[in-house]
Amino acid sequence: MLLRPLRSWAARALRREGPGSLPSGPGSRGAQRRAWPRDKERENEKKSVICVEGNIASGKTTCLDFFSNTADIEVFPEPVSKWRNVRGHNPLGLMYHDASRWGLTLQTYVQLTMLDQHTRPQTLPVRLMERSIHSARYIFVENLYRSGKLPEVDYVVLSEWFDWIVRNIDVSVDLIVYLRTAPETCYQRLKMRCREEEKVIPLEYLDAIHHLYEEWLIKGGLFPVMAPVLVIEADHDMQKMLELLEQNRDRILTPESRKHGP
């Protein structure tokens, strides 16, 4: 019963695309290609999705801002404003104050809004996304469960939704840019930011998120890494980070320059 609304939505979407538009299989980028303009120039154009991953205050916004003025790139920041205001409710703030009560609520909505980010028609050669539906599951849902703040039944339900999405909807990624930052650095940066919800985040939370990112993208743990990983050490000031992003510009934006594996 839980999967029926999403199945109906997917069926309606496929009908809108018309006959012969079924994807070639899980992970295929065919569904997004059909959403782009049909002229030959667009059809032959190589498109890629790049996800910028990292801890809270690891420098993701700096990275997105750096590339935002580059031609032929569309930038998708994390939809934090949606998480802070759902018809007048703030599930992000509620989760930080009482994760045991509101963790499922927030992560259900995060999964929905990140799915929306992944499935929007791509109109430019490169899409640069802040995080992904994959890190929502492998990092933040996993952390809630391991810390004992998400009951197993909630964890299983979220996992079932995620697994169905990955099998049936194109949420593939071409490159992961991992901004590897020490939890202590992130904590100091958080103190200088003005997001009200983040004032209650302890160092221990950032440390747990860091270790899950390391387990996922560096060590190779329980979860699949669905794209090549470019690691950028991000324990630097703004000027140094801008220099590093410039040095890695081609590795990030040029598919031929990427190597597979972390």
What's residue 98's pLDDT? 96
What average pLDDT score do residues 112-134 get? 97
Q: Could you report the per-residue pLDDT of 33-42, keeping only the tens digit for each? A: 334 344 444 4
Compute the average pLDDT of residues 51-71.
Answer: 96
> How many C-beta neighbours within 10 Å does residue 122 have?
18
- Spatial separation of the C-alpha atoms in residues 115 and 192, rounded to whole Å: 31
Q: Looking at residue 257, what is its pLDDT?
A: 56
Can 78 be counted among the known catalytic residues? no
- CATH fold of 31-256, please? Rossmann fold (3.40.50)
Q: Is the pLDDT of residue 30 over 70?
A: no
Mean pLDDT of 181-202: 88
What is the signed CA dihedral for 143, 137, 172, 250, rounded to 10 degrees? -30
pLDDT-derived band of residue 195, with 50, 70 and 90 as boundaries?
A: confident
Collapsing DSSP states into helix, strand and coil, what is residue 176? strand
The three state secondary structure string of 26-37 is CCCCHHHHHHCC
Q: Average pLDDT, stretch 152-181?
A: 97
Instruction: Report pLDDT for 260.
Output: 46
The pLDDT score that the predictor gives to residue 256 is 61
| pLDDT surpassing 70 at residue 16 | no
Per-residue model confidence (pLDDT) at position 83:
97
- pLDDT, residue 196, reads 78
Contact 132, 53 (CB under 8 A): yes
Judged by average pLDDT, the poorest of 129-143, 158-172, 219-233 is 219-233
Choosing from 78, 130, 184, 198, which is the catalytic residue? 130
Q: Identify the weakest region by mean pLDDT among 18-32, 39-53, 61-75, 82-96.
A: 18-32
Per-residue pLDDT, averaged over 204-209, amounts to 97
Closest to 172 measured CA to CA, from 55, 64, 48, 53: 48
Quick check: 25 pLDDT over 50?
no
Residue that the structure tokens 């409710």 belong to: 89
- Please state, in angstroms and rounded to a whole number, the distance separating the CA atoms of residues 254 and 211: 29
pLDDT of the residue at 11? 47
pTM (two decimals): 0.80
pLDDT tens digit sequence for 77-113 = 999 999 999 999 999 999 999 999 999 999 999 999 9
Average pLDDT over residues 107-130: 97
Rg value, the chain, Cα: 19
